[in-house]
Amino acid sequence: MKKTIGGLSVLLEGNQKNRAIIFLHGFPYDHTMWKAQIAAFSEAYYCVAYDIRGLGDSSVGDGQFTMELFVDDLEMMLHELKIEKPIICAFSMGGYIALRALERMEKKFSAVILCDTLSNADDNETKINRSDSIKRINAQGLSSFSKIFVARCFSDAYKKEHKDAIEKRIAKSRKFNSIGIKGGLLAMLTRNDTTPYLSSIKLPTLVLCGEHDTITPPIRVKAMAEQIPEASFVLIKNAGHMSVIENPEDCNEAIRIFLENN
Ligand code: MLT
């Protein structure tokens, strides 16, 4: 079932009496990136996957987004849906939101799954690259930005074997509102570093990363996981940054084992 809550487009799958999993997608994607996970977990869990503000079918507004606003949206969603102590399952930019949400209100969650994400803020080079992207989108629209950005996210092997799927992802991202895309870039480039908070996370945590991820490389993601007291790290074979799409079987197996034990 789909609903709009506070301007956000939300997919709700499964029985709401079950323990809830909130899925937070990456950039520049929408909730559909969690298709394989929702299919696997909606029988036993209440799966809530919404489009982050500015992306997918969610409202774009003025595009003046910050990570704090994205966390406010998550808090609003929990409140409106009356969900208590969900598991949060977050990918890349969704992970930036999740880590800041935990820093602000850890007690509202019961477990954390972080996929291909990092706690640090952007370094100077990344900030300049994001600013250049905004300039390029203003000059040329989303066409080349979406193509380059989406292609970078997938491993070479996946790109070779799934040309149509990649083209579809690029086409979808090109249809997003450029104000929302630029807002996402601004929110990422102005976000806080949540690294100092990692050592105080008390929740059971699973950290996944694709072995060929070049955006959030496994060596750095593993180092982040090592700073979280109750975290386990799983390297996902045959996958780049988009591990949950490229190798859903191994990701889902790691998530299933984690959830059974937590
Ligand atoms: C994402 O997958 O959400 C983005 O690649 C994150 C980023 O650009 O930092």
123-155 pLDDT tens trace: 999 999 999 999 999 999 999 999 999 999 999
Compute the distance from residue 5 Cα to the ligand 1 centre, in Å. Answer: 24
Pocket test residue of 91, 148, 155, 188 for ligand 1, highest count of atoms within 8 A of CB:
188
Q: What is the rounded average pLDDT of the residues 193-206?
A: 98
Compute the distance between CA of residue 44 and CA of residue 114 in angstroms, rounded to an integer: 20
DSSP labels for 45-98?
SEEEEEPPTTSTTS--TT----HHHHHHHHHHHHHHTT--S-EEEEETHHHHHH
Q: Which atom of ligand 1 is nearest to the CA of 241?
A: 2
Tell whether ligand 1 has an atom less than 6 A from the beta carbon of residue 228.
Answer: no
Pocket test residue of 215, 241, 246 for ligand 1, highest count of atoms within 8 A of CB:
215
Compute the distance between CA of residue 209 and CA of residue 88 in angstroms, rounded to an integer: 16
Compute the distance between CA of residue 127 and CA of residue 190 in angstroms, rounded to an integer: 8
What pLDDT was estimated at residue 40?
A: 98
CA-nearest residue, atom 4 of ligand 1 = 27
- Looking up tokens 């209440």 gives 46
Compute the distance between CA of residue 184 and CA of residue 173 in angstroms, rounded to an integer: 13
Burial level of 190, CB count in 10 A (0-12/13-18/19+)? middle
Residue 262's Cβ-side half-sphere holds a number of Cα atoms within 13 Å equal to: 24
Tell whether ligand 1 has an atom less than 6 A from the beta carbon of residue 92.
Answer: yes
What pLDDT was estimated at residue 232?
A: 98
Tell whether ligand 1 has an atom less than 6 A from the beta carbon of residue 27.
Answer: yes
What residues pair up with 232 in beta bridges, in sequence order? 206
Q: Which atom of ligand 1 is nearest to the CA of 130?
A: 8
CA-nearest residue, atom 9 of ligand 1 = 93
What pLDDT was estimated at residue 106?
A: 98
Tell whether ligand 1 has an atom less than 6 A from the beta carbon of residue 188.
Answer: yes
Read off the pLDDT of residues 65-111 as tens digits, 9 standing for 90 and up.
Answer: 999 999 999 999 999 999 999 999 999 999 999 999 999 999 999 99
The three-state secondary structure class of 109 is coil
* 40 Cβ contact list (under 8 Å, min separation 6): 248, 252, 255, 256
Amino acid in position 126:
T
Q: Which atom of ligand 1 is nearest to the CA of 242?
A: 2
Mean pLDDT taken over the chain? 97
What pLDDT was estimated at residue 82?
A: 97
The pTM of this model reads 0.98
Selection from 72, 187, 77 nearest residue 130 by Cα: 187
Compute the distance from residue 97 Cα to the ligand 1 centre, in Å. Answer: 11
What pLDDT was estimated at residue 105?
A: 98
What pLDDT was estimated at residue 143?
A: 93
Q: What is the rounded average pLDDT of the residues 179-198?
A: 98
Read off the pLDDT of residues 15-46 as tens digits, 9 standing for 90 and up.
Answer: 999 999 999 999 999 999 999 999 999 999 99
Q: Which CB contacts under 8 angstroms, 24+ apart, belong to 76-79?
A: 76/5, 76/6, 77/5, 77/6, 77/8, 77/10, 77/22, 77/48, 77/50, 78/22, 78/108
CA-nearest residue, atom 7 of ligand 1 = 93
The three-state secondary structure class of 121 is coil
pLDDT band at 229, cuts 50/70/90? very high
Selection from 166, 135, 168, 171 nearest residue 241 by Cα: 166
